[in-house]
Structure 1
Amino acid sequence: MTIASDIPRITLRPEKQGTFLAHHPWVLVSSLVGRPKNLQTGDVADLVLPDGRFIGRGLFHESSRICLRLYSWDKDAALDDAFWQHKLEQAIALRTELDLDDPHGAARLIYSEGDDLSGLIVDRYGKYIVVQFTAQVIYQRADMILSWLKERLRPAAIQVRVDGRVARAEKMEPQQTWVHGEPPTAPIEIMEHGIRLQLDLNESQKTGYYLDQRDNRHAAAKYLRGRSVLDVCCYLGGFSLAAARAGAGEILALDTSPRAIELARKHAELNGVSNIQFAHGDCFEQLETFVQSQRKFEAIVLDPPRFAGSRRNLNAALQAYHRLNRLAMNLLVPGGILVTCSCSGLVTRDDFRYMLAGAARKARRDLQILEQRGAAPDHPVRLACPETEYLKCFICRVL
């Protein structure tokens, strides 16, 4: 198939070509020769070099920092419904290969750039689907996408979300709406590695639950068997529940949110777990208090929210991670286990490792890294887009 040559062209600065020849999907205005004219948000456009050589084809946004999102590196590809539906099918097929189609479980079916569908996230919770749009150019194709998901997956209901921060950046309206089927009137139940969880899809962080940590919770639990555990930023209690199920000793779970603690406590009751105590408050203050009182733990889990929302916050974020991990190391007995995580995409794996080394020096402790983990496989990392490798989970032994 030959595509008409009248597709608008956007010219890339030649010194920027390496990134996009490697198939990174985000083209910033600063990477272009001049500002494109006579293009509207959602228009198909080609990225070319100054000599006219084709690089990729994508969708243009006239007022976003990411002015072009690339979806194809084939000059003969038409970005029509069949093109998008093929990409959707490829993503769903991968989850089937990964055995993530358990009707009682939960999985990320489409992971934006990781599945070459920049701007689209689709999660399945049992028989319900939650669709998050993070780019206006993809949201403009919502009717087609939602119709395909409805026919392909046959969900009980579909919810559409547009996060407030994303809405501001992409010139969209925030949204959290059920658009198909019968919405759940009560929390739904899913299973995660044998643990029962109840999720309120009308009142939850992200798209319902932190699915990216699913396998890390399970992997960390084996190191926590028989140990006293401090779970910092516990949210709905995932790490604590996995630890308890694996045979951990007494567990103290902390979170700044009283609502999260309430839900985590309910999960402990639901699973018949009685060795978890729950408390809410500022996690840094709690750790400082424990250090002052010389309290000790045999294992600590750190799973804080994202500290680095932008590059200008990166240094402050690394300082916060340093402080949090240093405090944790001071609280661990010799040979204690530290499970430490970062979901800040701007903090690279090397950054995180370097931070841990600095925190260990400051705490005058030696550190052995037992495992370096990332997100679950339904969050595939695309090497051309380092931003897809946002989650770090290090399982360490503190000497």
Structure 2
Amino acid sequence: MTRVVAGKLFARGGARHPWLFDSAIDRIDGTPQVGDEVTVVGLNGRFMGYGLFNSSSRIRVRIYSWDEDRPLTEDFWRERVRFACQSRQRFLPPNTGDNASRLISSEADLLSGLTVDRYGDWLLAQLGSQALHPRLDLLISEVIAQTGAKGCWLRTEKGIRQAEGLPQIDGLLAGEAPPDVIPIVEHGLVYHVNLVDGQKTGFFLDQRENRRRAADFSFGRMLDLCCYSAGFGMNALKQGSVTSVIGIDTSKLAVENASQNVERNGFADQYEVRHGDAFEALTQFREESARFETIVLDPPKLVKNRATLDSGLKGYHSLNRMALDVLSPGGTLITCSCSGLVTHEMFRETLRDAAWQSGRDLRILEARGPSPDHPQSPQCPESDYLKCYIATA
């Protein structure tokens, strides 16, 4: 087996970080091909881990095993999948009727580069590693064995494809193709999900518990910006904590889907869905002197890489500052960031500065992350990506 010698820059190896970057490699003893299993050792020759090689990515090696007695055999991969799927049974409350959840969460489940979500009887997989691609059929076959799912659809993000050298491989992986619409249930609300054309992975499952908890702090008129599926607003209406909701999204497909969700759950008279830009909408509301007792900000990822960190932080700052301008005194602000490169400290500083410029005293009531089926790994800080702050001003 090829040996990859990690240099001094791979100090994170001692903490079991799964990514070995090209800049942290001292030398490679051999000529591994994409997807080959390699042994990672330190400069002193000490074993560090077994991983998969990818010459097309800056992450040259993704490490999956830190045990010298556990090479990456078929049994190894199946055991990893079984553990991830079975552990979800403990994360999710029983007998709720909910039928959608994450089953595999990449680095947090020690399967770097793979996420798998379940929507009713179908699975949706996302592949973020070309090196893992040759083992994809094996991994998905075990997920199906564990869940009894009818089929699995694969989607890849354009940015990840480019970074990993992945071909355009979206399509049916196993079993039956999903129908155009899959009904799912979350907290007693029914949503229709399109796995083939939907945003991200079809539905933002990571916000499940945040949608429910945010309703406890919501009241009065709600503005639900970047509403996508209308989940935040509908949970608040279901609980009876708000009187009306205006939901806005820039995606026409999302607006159509949100409108249908609102209709099928019986909230058409209370939830108005509009197509538009969040920044433009806030500007218009400010000019009209409109005020809302509750505002939800759940924008798409504004920081996609380190080159866009500064501009993305400015975007979060502007969005929150403008929202505070139309938030009623004593109102509730539910503000989110799904940018992994934006740390909790950065996000808090952004909120602090936005509040200062708006002349508002902002108090954070709860700082929340993703739902329990989206665990985070302390060995991989990048997995701590979602921030959902419930605040008042």
Query: TM-score, structure 1 length as denominator?
Result: 0.95
1:244 aligns with 2:212: no
1:232-281 per-position Cα deviation (integer Å, ceiling 9, x unaligned): 00011111111111111111101111221111111111001120111111
1:383 aligns with 2:342: no
1:155 aligns with 2:149: yes
Whether the aligned pair in 2 keeps the contact of 1:29 and 1:35 (CA below 8 Å) is: no
1:336: which partner in 2?
331
The CA RMSD measured in Å over matched residues stands at 1.5
1:27: which partner in 2?
20
2:322: which partner in 1?
327
Which range moved further: 158-167 or 189-198? 158-167
Matches within 5 A, 1:251-290: 251-273=245-267, 274-290=269-285
1:74: which partner in 2?
67
The 1:148/1:101 distance shift into structure 2, 3 A limit, reads farther
1:144 aligns with 2:135: no
Query: Equivalent pairs: percent with the same residue?
Result: 41
1:200 aligns with 2:194: yes
Q: Distance in 1 between matches of 2:336 and 2:37?
A: 39
Query: Residue type of the partner of 2:45?
Result: G
Query: Residue type of the partner of 2:50?
Result: R
Question: What's the CA shift for 1:35?
Answer: 5.7
From 53, 60, 76, give the equivalent of 1:83. Answer: 76
Q: Distance in 1 between matches of 2:157 and 2:327?
A: 38
1:189: which partner in 2?
183
Query: Residue type of the partner of 1:357?
Result: R
Query: SS of 1:172's equivalent?
Result: coil
Whether the aligned pair in 2 keeps the contact of 1:311 and 1:346 (CA below 8 Å) is: yes
1:171 aligns with 2:165: yes
Question: What's the CA shift for 1:210?
Answer: 0.4
Which range moved further: 173-182 or 249-258? 173-182
Which range moved further: 31-40 or 114-123? 31-40
Whether the aligned pair in 2 keeps the contact of 1:308 and 1:344 (CA below 8 Å) is: yes
Query: SS of 2:76's equivalent?
Result: helix
1:132: which partner in 2?
126
1:106 aligns with 2:81: no
Whether the aligned pair in 2 keeps the contact of 1:121 and 1:133 (CA below 8 Å) is: yes
From 351, 355, 361, give the equivalent of 2:346. Answer: 351
Query: Residue type of the partner of 2:109?
Result: D
Query: SS of 2:154's equivalent?
Result: strand
Whether the aligned pair in 2 keeps the contact of 1:224 and 1:246 (CA below 8 Å) is: no
Q: Which consecutive residues of structure 1, in runs of 5 or more, have no partner in the other structure?
A: 1-6
Question: What's the CA shift for 1:363?
Answer: 0.3
Whether the aligned pair in 1 keeps the contact of 2:85 and 2:146 (CA below 8 Å) is: no
From 364, 371, 378, give the equivalent of 1:369. Answer: 364
1:8: which partner in 2?
2
Q: Distance in 2 between matches of 1:158 and 1:172?
A: 19
Question: What's the CA shift for 1:179?
Answer: 3.2
Query: TM-score, structure 2 length as denominator?
Result: 0.96
2:217: which partner in 1?
223
Whether the aligned pair in 2 keeps the contact of 1:213 and 1:376 (CA below 8 Å) is: yes
Q: Distance in 2 between matches of 1:185 and 1:44?
A: 37
2:295: which partner in 1?
300
Q: Distance in 2 between matches of 1:367 and 1:321?
A: 15
Q: Distance in 1 between matches of 2:381 and 2:29?
A: 27
Query: Residue type of the partner of 2:48?
Result: I
Q: Distance in 2 between matches of 1:126 and 1:223?
A: 30
Q: Distance in 2 between matches of 1:170 and 1:95?
A: 29
From 49, 69, 85, give the equivalent of 1:56. Answer: 49
Question: What's the CA shift for 1:34?
Answer: 3.9
Which range moved further: 188-197 or 153-162? 153-162
Query: Residue type of the partner of 1:77?
Result: R
1:119 aligns with 2:125: no
1:303-341 per-position Cα deviation (integer Å, ceiling 9, x unaligned): 000000110110111100000000011111110000000
Question: What's the CA shift for 1:100?
Answer: 6.0
Q: Distance in 1 between matches of 2:339 and 2:45?
A: 37
Whether the aligned pair in 2 keeps the contact of 1:95 and 1:101 (CA below 8 Å) is: no
Whether the aligned pair in 1 keeps the contact of 2:4 and 2:25 (CA below 8 Å) is: yes
Query: SS of 1:55's equivalent?
Result: strand
1:184-210 per-position Cα deviation (integer Å, ceiling 9, x unaligned): 434111110111111122220122100
Q: Distance in 2 between matches of 1:33 and 1:181?
A: 43
Query: SS of 2:72's equivalent?
Result: coil
1:60-104 per-position Cα deviation (integer Å, ceiling 9, x unaligned): 111211000001111121201000111111101110112367775
Query: Residue type of the partner of 2:245?
Result: I
Whether the aligned pair in 1 keeps the contact of 2:4 and 2:38 (CA below 8 Å) is: yes
Query: SS of 1:173's equivalent?
Result: coil
The 1:329/1:367 distance shift into structure 2, 3 A limit, reads same
Q: Distance in 1 between matches of 2:26 and 2:236?
A: 54
Question: What's the CA shift for 1:182?
Answer: 2.9
Which range moved further: 148-157 or 205-214? 148-157
1:83-132 per-position Cα deviation (integer Å, ceiling 9, x unaligned): 01111111011101123677751000000001010011110001111111
Query: SS of 2:319's equivalent?
Result: helix
Which range moved further: 251-260 or 302-311? 251-260
1:117-172 per-position Cα deviation (integer Å, ceiling 9, x unaligned): 00111100011111111101111101211222232222122112222222222222
1:3: which partner in 2?
none
